[in-house]
Amino acid sequence: MTELAHDAAWRRLDIRMLLVHPVNELIRFLPLLVGLFFLGSRDSSNPWHYLSVAIPIAIGLMRFATTRFRITGVQIELRRGLFSRNVLTTPLDRVRTVELTAKPIHRILGLERVEIGTGSASRSGEGRVVLDALGADEAKRLRAELLRAGAADSVDAPGTGPHLATQSDTVLLRFDPAWARFAPLTTSGLVIVLAALAASGQFLGNAIPALLHRTDVGHHLRSLPLVVTVPAGLISFLVVISVLAIAGYLLANWGFTLSRDAVGSAFHVRRGALTTRQTSIDPERLRGVEIHEPLGLRLAGAGRLTAIVTGFKKNAQGSTPMVPAAPVGVVIGVGEQVLAENGPLYTGLVGHGPRATRRRYIRAIVPTALVPAVLLLAALGGAPLWVGLVALLLPAAGVLLARDRAARLGHALTPAYVVVRWGSLRGRRDALQRTGIIGWNLRQSWFQRRAGLVSLTATTAAGRQSYEVLDLPEPMAIALAAAAVPSLVDQFLVRPGVRSIS
């Protein structure tokens, strides 16, 4: 704690932030400025034009001038505001994560934005200490010391002295640009594509028809048969989607590096091309990992790995990426190093029996069979018959989906983890630390009750805070809960030969 003791006096943020805060405020007020300059008076001598620029700059300067912070031997204090004073205090032993972010302007000036997570962050961000911003070297030193303080509970741990920030880290994973080939198969890649198409929709909706009208391209396209234009259009659309998804993947993950510091006290994740983000995770806050295996990635032999961590923001769902979309061998290899146990990510699973399999088929086939039935009835009423005939393929797709879901459904218990696998289109394999489970919930719907099945949910303070084992026979669910964390379940079990007192 000797290093943090030097920070006990109230301090300002780095003075280079005087070049950042005013710019940020101008960007926030940009819609208002555009309205005043282009929709208001055209008189360039109008004082409101200059005042509208001066006010955001003044706000930025005032924000810098009224922000103070200090770090004592036991807590972090952040003081903000001029007329309404706001003081945020966080004990050092509540520090869960430290995240460093640098937008392009921060990187040019050699600054980092430090965000300290305490495990009690709300959706609005309250409870998180944000220092925007410190010098890059100071931010890294502060990150190392805060994580050490949080892990040691305000007591210097053996072997974690001031050399912590200077020794080289052990690199567990470096980004391979060849992994970008998986980007079009990820959900995040599709989200990026849809966002880009939505943002450019107005331009494309006006520019492309005008271009086709003014040139001979539109005439040539209309003269081609549908058997040519439809496949060409689909191929062009897929190419555009793939290019946008790959570009978004590279921007988000360029330079992705997963490392562990020299004394093994924290994992560090760094990623980003334009805006770099460095997240540090205390292993004491790590409660497991999640392997994401959506159908597209699984068919390509790939997956993603995220860590289950306490103290992350709600909108981050308590997880941080440890491996972006990459070959499944890379994902499992890194996951084993993070878990420090072989087996949870590839061990064989216990199936949930024929009744759970039958439930998978019923839930997949019934909805897919109703669609073609409705379309065939519509065809009898005058709609094109081919629509109903094509829809007959849906039940076959439902059978394949049910087969895959039934084959993937299962669980396992290792010395340290409860392993759950489920899903086909959004396939997942979760390895949750047994000591991180704080409760069990048994849930049974009307249909499950008819089938003699239950869903067992493990509750935890990390990650998504609930991890569900679907459609277990009731005796198997109780046995799993009792074996995983005996202290939680034993008191509710009725032992043979023991009579209850009524």
| 388 touches 373 (CB < 8 A) | no
Q: How far is CA 223 from CA 101, 208, 210, 211, in A?
A: 53, 18, 18, 17
Q: Is the pLDDT of residue 48 over 80?
A: no
pLDDT digits 0-9 by tens, 27-42: 666 666 565 555 555 5
Mean per-residue pLDDT over the chain, rounded: 78
The per-residue DSSP string of 111-122 comes to EEEEEEE-S---
Question: How deeply is 353 buried, as exposed, middle or buried, from its count of CB atoms within 10 A (0-12, 13-18, 19+)?
Answer: middle
Select from 313, 300, 318, 270 the least CA-distant residue to 436: 318
Q: Which of 69-78, 114-123, 129-138, 403-412 has the lowest mean pLDDT?
A: 114-123
Task: Kindly give the residue spans of alpha helices, DSSP state H, lying in 280-429.
Answer: 295-299, 328-339, 354-380, 385-391, 393-408
Select from 381, 384, 376, 487 the least CA-distant residue to 437: 487
d(C-alpha 21, C-alpha 12), whole Å = 13
The residues facing 428 across adjacent strands are 292, 422
75-83 long-range contacts, Cβ below 8 Å, gap at least 24? 76/116, 76/129, 76/146, 78/129, 78/130, 78/131, 79/10
| 259 touches 323 (CB < 8 A) | no
- In 10 A of CB 446, how many CB atoms? 6
Domain ranges of the chain: 2-168, 177-253, 354-492
Between 394 and 492, the higher pLDDT residue: 394
Q: Is the pLDDT of residue 92 over 60?
A: yes
pLDDT digits 0-9 by tens, 397-432: 889 999 999 999 999 999 999 999 999 988 999 999
Q: What distance, in Å, lies between the first and last C-alpha atoms of the chain? A: 56
Is the pTM higher than 0.85? no
Average pLDDT on 456-483 reads 91
| 5 touches 73 (CB < 8 A) | yes
DSSP state of 38: I
Helix (H) or strand (E) holding 433: strand 426-433
Q: What pLDDT is stored for residue 191 in this prediction? A: 64
Contacts of 85 (CB under 8 A, 6+ apart): 79
Q: pLDDT grade, residue 285 (50/70/90)? A: confident
Q: What pLDDT is stored for residue 225 in this prediction? A: 66
| 493 touches 482 (CB < 8 A) | yes
d(C-alpha 335, C-alpha 419), whole Å = 13
State percent of the chain over pLDDT 90: 30
**Topology adopted by domain 2-168:** PH-domain like (2.30.29)
d(C-alpha 35, C-alpha 26), whole Å = 13
Q: How far is CA 437 from CA 113, 209, 419, 457, 465, in A?
A: 33, 58, 12, 10, 9
Q: How far is CA 500 from CA 112, 442, 478, 494, in A?
A: 62, 22, 19, 8
State how far Cα 309 lies from the chain centre: 11
Q: What pLDDT is stored for residue 404 in this prediction? A: 93
Q: Is the pLDDT of residue 145 over 60?
A: yes
Contacts of 227 (CB under 8 A, 6+ apart): none
pLDDT digits 0-9 by tens, 147-203: 776 555 433 433 333 333 345 678 999 999 999 999 988 876 666 656 655 655 555
Q: pLDDT grade, residue 243 (50/70/90)? A: confident
d(C-alpha 33, C-alpha 50), whole Å = 10
Question: How deeply is 5 buried, as exposed, middle or buried, from its count of CB atoms within 10 A (0-12, 13-18, 19+)?
Answer: exposed
Q: pLDDT grade, residue 121 (50/70/90)? A: very low
pLDDT digits 0-9 by tens, 293-346: 998 899 999 999 999 987 665 444 446 789 999 999 999 999 999 998 888 999
* φ and ψ at residue 109, rounded to 5 degrees: -90, 0
Select from 79, 125, 104 the least CA-distant residue to 24: 104
Structure tokens that stand for 141 in this block = 């030193």
